[in-house]
Amino acid sequence: MSDLCHECGIVAVYHLPGKEVSPLCPLGDASQVTRLLPRMLLDLQNRGQLSAGISTWNPNRPSLIDTYKDVGTVTEVFRLSHSGKSESLMQRLAGRAGIGHVRYATCGQEDRNYAQPYERHHIEKRKWFSFAFNGQLANYPQLRQRILEEDDHHLIRQNDTEIIMHEICREMSGDRRPTLVEVMREVSRRFDGAYSLTLLTAQGSLLVARDPLGIKPLCYAIEGPLFAAASESVALLNLGLRPENIRSLEPGTALVVSSDGVRLERFADSPRRAHCFFEWIYFANVASTLDERSVYLSRTALGVELARLERQERLVELDEQTIVVPVPDTSKPAADAMAFELGLPSREGLIRNRYLGRTFIEGSSSRLEKAALKYIPLREVLEGKRVILVEDSIVRSTTMRVLLAKLRSAGGAREVHVRVACPPIIAPCFYGIDMSTVGELFAPPYLQDGRLTAEAQDRMAEALGADSLRYLPVEAVARAIGLDASQLCQACITGRYPTRAGEQLYQIALQERSSDRRTYEICAASTEGGGRTA
């Protein structure tokens, strides 16, 4: 699945005072710990390639918090291919603590002003902070309208990151001196949606928090003098942190790190979980473990589910002319497992051109052009074969249509049967994935009263140019991940949302299915015009 946009990724580090020197800390120097941030962001590059940035805290420089960010990949933004420029930048940003972010735009414009972290300067150190977050507020239009209606307020940007910044500022205003956890407690009462965030103050305090539903992943580790946190465990493992020290942050809880040490506190009740199932199927690095569930093993289990479905359906002749081919790269564990279960060879019949970037970064026309160049069929593997093509999901179908045509024309495949390790995407996401309209989705027009029938899948196969097409059923997802369905957010495959604002946005999306505007934009226009609100 190559035409769906990734989310964002966040990281944080802190050199704990009074702790022994550790080889994990660069040069053994507390002021150099922020050198780890670009390394960690590289491991989260899969979560966003539009922009990158870090904020660092150093009590020994005039600018207690210094922020550097720009549009581009981590390597581009931090000049990692130019040692001299990179070293100069790291010297400037050296500090005892820092936060970082990689971004793909799900809301707002694609320019430097929307890159995170966001820094808010203030003469009072307790009110001077920088923060970054992964997620999306489903009630962003209402929060924005509320701010604009108060006094003579003005907002510069069209995104929820600015809203979060102002809501935090609201809690810090005047002579009030709330703790960071108290700030989170108050703002969480107004937020509806997904948010894992990091916040760094000029007083040298670091907050790491995860929303009460745990929609977005977040993990942390403490080893010697080093505290580190990241959206995915792979960013911590590659620092050399021991796996047994890496833990997932519980939903509704926050970690506060300061010169006094590390403190874990609950800021909101968390009666249920709603972990985004797409993290295991597609978004997360295959080497990561999220909420004690391995991404690799989950994808392997999806392949076993596909094999079970294939045995039931018996649509493809499984002989020496049949091969299983994954769509690189996220589909490979599922394809390998499916092939093993069926006694078929799994072959890399498609080679991905890694120098093109990701198709989701571009607009729809560029996406189509990139899709045509992104994969190179291997004719020596495919010619005359009956191909079972394994894909992790189909959202808009842009890449799949192009890919199927190339498998036949350039690859010489005799038959191509598509198997999708995910149920059909039938509803938008309002929690951080860039698919917020019903009209852009491939599957809904083919479903019969929302039901996935054999006839519906046959018509989809014909539309795509495949010999056959089969999706996994919804219940297979929870089995593969190893979590109960009640602990997962599966809104995009069920139409049932874990929050009130998400449900209401879905109703608007259904009513406006012919519109090419994002549902957030429609809702914002309605609220500003005094009309319907979510």
- Based on the domain organization, do 230 and 308 belong to the same domain? no
Q: What local confidence, expressed as pLDDT, does residue 278 receive?
A: 95
- Based on the domain organization, do 123 and 51 belong to the same domain? yes
How far is CA 183 from each of CA 13, 172, 205, 212, rounded to the nearest angstrom? 21, 8, 13, 15
- Based on the domain organization, do 465 and 520 belong to the same domain? no
Location of structure tokens 């003005």: 154
CB-based burial, 123-134: b 16+ in 10 Å, e otherwise: eeeebbbbbbbb
Position 176 in a domain: no
- Residue 346 — very low, low, confident or very high, per pLDDT cuts 50/70/90? very high
- Residue 22 — very low, low, confident or very high, per pLDDT cuts 50/70/90? low
Structure tokens at 369: 């052009």
- Based on the domain organization, do 515 and 374 belong to the same domain? no
Q: What local confidence, expressed as pLDDT, does residue 31 receive?
A: 81
- Based on the domain organization, do 491 and 515 belong to the same domain? no
Position 13 in a domain: yes
Q: Which of 8, 107, 429, 489 is catalytic?
A: 8
CA dihedral 76, 78, 79, 82 (to 10 degrees): -150
Tens of pLDDT along 435-475? 778 988 999 999 988 789 999 999 999 999 999 999 999 99
Span of 120-124, 304-308, 318-322, 365-369 with lowest mean pLDDT: 365-369
How far is CA 77 from each of CA 53, 130, 221, 362, 394, rounded to the nearest angstrom? 8, 18, 26, 19, 31
How far is CA 492 from each of CA 372, 393, 419, 429, rounded to the nearest angstrom? 27, 12, 19, 6
Q: What local confidence, expressed as pLDDT, does residue 531 receive?
A: 39
Q: What local confidence, expressed as pLDDT, does residue 534 receive?
A: 30
- Based on the domain organization, do 423 and 331 belong to the same domain? yes
Tens of pLDDT along 297-308? 999 999 999 999
Q: What local confidence, expressed as pLDDT, does residue 358 receive?
A: 45
Query: Is 8 considered catalytic here?
Result: yes
Handedness of CA 433, 435, 436, 438 (dihedral sign): negative
Position 488 in a domain: yes
One DSSP character per residue, 401-428 reads HHHHHHHHHTT--SEEEEEESS----S-
Position 283 in a domain: no
Span of 199-208, 341-350, 351-360, 439-448 with lowest mean pLDDT: 351-360
Q: What local confidence, expressed as pLDDT, does residue 157 receive?
A: 81
Position 428 in a domain: yes
**Domain with 215 in it:** 9-134+193-268
Tens of pLDDT along 401-426? 999 999 999 999 999 999 999 999 99
360 against 193, higher pLDDT:
193
Q: What local confidence, expressed as pLDDT, does residue 433 receive?
A: 87
Structure tokens at 12: 């944080």
Q: What local confidence, expressed as pLDDT, does residue 279 receive?
A: 95
Tens of pLDDT along 76-134? 999 999 999 999 999 999 999 999 999 875 554 567 888 999 999 999 999 999 999 99
Q: What is the CATH number of the domain that holds 40?
A: 3.60.20.10
Tens of pLDDT along 228-240? 999 999 999 999 9
**What pTM was computed for the model?**
0.91
Location of structure tokens 């203030």: 122
Q: What local confidence, expressed as pLDDT, does residue 55 receive?
A: 98
- Based on the domain organization, do 221 and 86 belong to the same domain? yes
Tens of pLDDT along 54-79? 999 999 999 999 999 999 999 999 99
How far is CA 90 from each of CA 40, 73, 93, rounded to the nearest angstrom? 14, 17, 5
Tens of pLDDT along 2-21? 444 446 999 999 999 876 66
Q: What local confidence, expressed as pLDDT, does residue 21 receive?
A: 62
- Based on the domain organization, do 59 and 130 belong to the same domain? yes
Domain boundary among 268, 284, 308: 268
Q: What local confidence, expressed as pLDDT, does residue 363 receive?
A: 43
Q: What is the CATH number of the domain that holds 380?
A: 3.40.50.2020
Q: What local confidence, expressed as pLDDT, does residue 32 receive?
A: 87
Q: What local confidence, expressed as pLDDT, does residue 151 receive?
A: 76
Q: What local confidence, expressed as pLDDT, does residue 277 receive?
A: 97
Position 514 in a domain: yes
- Based on the domain organization, do 252 and 349 belong to the same domain? no
- Residue 361 — very low, low, confident or very high, per pLDDT cuts 50/70/90? very low
Q: What local confidence, expressed as pLDDT, does residue 104 receive?
A: 79
Exposed (0-12), middle (13-18) or buried (19+): which is 176, by Cβ within 10 Å?
A: exposed
One DSSP character per residue, 61-75 reads SSSSEEEEEEES-HH
- Residue 177 — very low, low, confident or very high, per pLDDT cuts 50/70/90? very high
Q: What local confidence, expressed as pLDDT, does residue 129 receive?
A: 98
- Based on the domain organization, do 264 and 350 belong to the same domain? no
| Helices and strands, number each (H, E), in the chain | 18, 23
Structure tokens at 313: 């359906």
Position 140 in a domain: no
Count of the separate structural domains present in the chain: 3
Contacts of 103 (CB under 8 A, 6+ apart): 8, 48, 50, 51, 52, 114, 115, 116
If you average pLDDT over residues 211-216, what whole number do you get? 98
- Based on the domain organization, do 376 and 513 belong to the same domain? no
Residue 529 has pLDDT above 70, yes or no: no
Nearest to 43 by CA among 223, 238, 286: 238
Contacts of the segment 373-378: beta carbons below 8 A, 24+ positions apart: 374/2, 374/399, 375/327, 375/328, 375/350, 375/351, 375/403, 375/406, 376/350, 376/351, 376/352, 377/349, 377/350, 377/406, 377/407, 377/410, 377/411, 377/413, 378/348, 378/349, 378/350, 378/351, 378/411
- Based on the domain organization, do 330 and 396 belong to the same domain? yes
Position 185 in a domain: no
Rounded to the nearest integer, the mean pLDDT of the chain is 90
If you average pLDDT over residues 130-154, what whole number do you get? 91
